Homo-oligomer: A and B are copies of this chain.
């Protein structure tokens, strides 16, 4: 194979079905679900191979700094394209294809969701290689998974003839959306595949097809790509144009309409990690069928997924249950309750509850903070600043702050004074003082901040200067 493949990694989804681990501002693909790395980082590693070009990541504003951190954590660089808003997968994939077609006439694009679990990257790459011939011949290739059970949560693909010169690719006879159990069983028995949501095609071929099937989407996306603006390390698609693109999934917009669809059956182990049951199935389980993670004690428990990111979690005398404990929320769900989890997470987000929006530890481009306790007229926070980073120059109208350095060395600006504070040193920021916390050192700085005052909201902040392009 002489031609390198351009991976396009879609990482804009919210993953509410995996609440409370997955949060609006910190979704499942950016959290280590299995092992040390996040699914997004695992996806990056899967295409970190000579057969691929550097990836193009499509994400959005909320996740952009986490995306940068995750890419750095596995040492992979590439483009980060930001959607002004989510318009489903059709416009996202088309925008990436248009960007790459501009760059390379012959570009072959591999579209990968960022939340799939594929334990064997070599088997994955071998299957991708088997699809290249079909993609080069102008087909829009999807990868089909042989069903292990009559899953009702996936779409199915029925296949037609083999495609000449592109074995093992088959033509597509039809797509069947999430079927009821009985139909799912029939489809499984008749040799249909699960639609994995991974696609491969020549960028130019997709653009041709989109010009016929989705002219309005293509026009909007082209305008958005032409209006791309660079912002730090990000490429922002033109917002006005992109919002004109119809919000349609790639399956509906292209795959189900084109006569150029092909499917390459794959045999690697695969899960979309879409439910807690799927995560449980992919985890190592003991002789009672239990998978556990964190500080947990189980007694007389069967077929349970028990995961604690924080407090001691004891489960006793129960079966077929998912117990997920984070620093600020607990979920106890029977197997099959996924739909309810999604509904509740959406409702909590609509109510503006922190537990649906972000984790107790909130990530920022400069590091992170977590609220340790909120009292009547005070709040205690722990703040970490990465080496070489600093928070914005700011002031607060309603609160004073005490800072105690517990790790590293901090550069502290209070009005006209700039001082260095080491471990076990403290300072006081009076109400209304213009101040800044920075870390000019080589190791992370951590401080404990004690805020006092009548109003302690995050919105009591006036920014005078910010390294990360954030407004006042």
Interchain CB contact under 8 A, A330 and B316: no
A340 at the binding interface (Cβ < 8 Å): yes
> With A297-B344, A378-B448 in contact, do A323 and B330 touch (Cβ < 8 Å)?
yes
Interchain CB contact under 8 A, B312 and A337: no
Kindly identify which residue among B323, B348, B372 contacts A332, using a CB–CB cutoff of 8 Å.
Answer: B323
Interface size class of A (residues with CB under 8 A): 35 or more
Which stretch of A66-74, A399-407, A434-442, A458-466 is in the interface? Answer: A399-407
List residues of chain B with CB within 8 A of the CB of A330: 308, 311-314, 323, 325, 330
List residues of chain B with CB within 8 A of the CB of A20: 312, 314
Q: Mark A312-332, 1 if CB is under 8 A from B, else 0.
A: 111111110101011111111
A450 at the binding interface (Cβ < 8 Å): yes
CA–CA, A385 and B423, complex, Å: 28
Interchain CB contact under 8 A, A375 and B407: yes
Interchain CB contact under 8 A, A333 and B311: no
A300 at the binding interface (Cβ < 8 Å): yes
A376 at the binding interface (Cβ < 8 Å): yes
Interchain CB contact under 8 A, A300 and B337: yes
A80 at the binding interface (Cβ < 8 Å): no
Kindly identify which residue among B316, B321, B353, B380 contacts A341, using a CB–CB cutoff of 8 Å.
Answer: B316
CA–CA, A407 and B453, complex, Å: 11
A59 at the binding interface (Cβ < 8 Å): no
Interface centre among A316, A328, A344 (most CB of B within 10 A): A316
Task: Give the oligomeric copy count.
Answer: 2
A359 at the binding interface (Cβ < 8 Å): no
Query: Which residues of chain A from 381 to 406 have any CB-CB distance to chain B below 8 Å in the complex?
Result: 382, 400, 402, 404, 406
List residues of chain B with CB within 8 A of the CB of A373: 372, 382
CA–CA, A315 and B334, complex, Å: 8
CA–CA, A236 and B428, complex, Å: 49
Interchain CB contact under 8 A, B340 and A317: yes
A426 at the binding interface (Cβ < 8 Å): yes
> With A375-B406, A448-B380, A450-B448 in contact, do A337 and B318 touch (Cβ < 8 Å)?
yes
A343 at the binding interface (Cβ < 8 Å): yes
CA–CA, A410 and B334, complex, Å: 50
Nearest-neighbor residue (CB-CB) of A427 within chain B: B426
A226 at the binding interface (Cβ < 8 Å): no
A336 at the binding interface (Cβ < 8 Å): yes
A77 at the binding interface (Cβ < 8 Å): no
Kindly identify which residue among B325, B343, B426 contacts A426, using a CB–CB cutoff of 8 Å.
Answer: B426
> With A380-B380, A402-B426 in contact, do A333 and B312 touch (Cβ < 8 Å)?
no
A181 at the binding interface (Cβ < 8 Å): no
A290 at the binding interface (Cβ < 8 Å): no
CA–CA, A331 and B315, complex, Å: 6
Interface centre among A311, A315, A330, A333 (most CB of B within 10 A): A330
Within the complex, the shortest CB–CB distance from A448 to chain B, in Å, comes to 5
Q: Mark A416-440, 1 if CB is under 8 A from B, else 0.
A: 0000000110101000000000000
What are the 7 tightest A-B residue pairs by CB atom distance, in nearest-first order? A317-B337, A317-B334, A318-B334, A378-B406, A316-B340, A316-B337, A372-B372
A-B contact pairs, 7 of them (CB 8 A): A312-B330, A313-B329, A316-B332, A316-B333, A318-B334, A318-B337, A378-B407
Beyond A299-B344, A375-B382, A380-B380, 5 additional pairs, beta carbon < 8 A? A311-B327, A314-B344, A317-B333, A375-B446, A377-B423
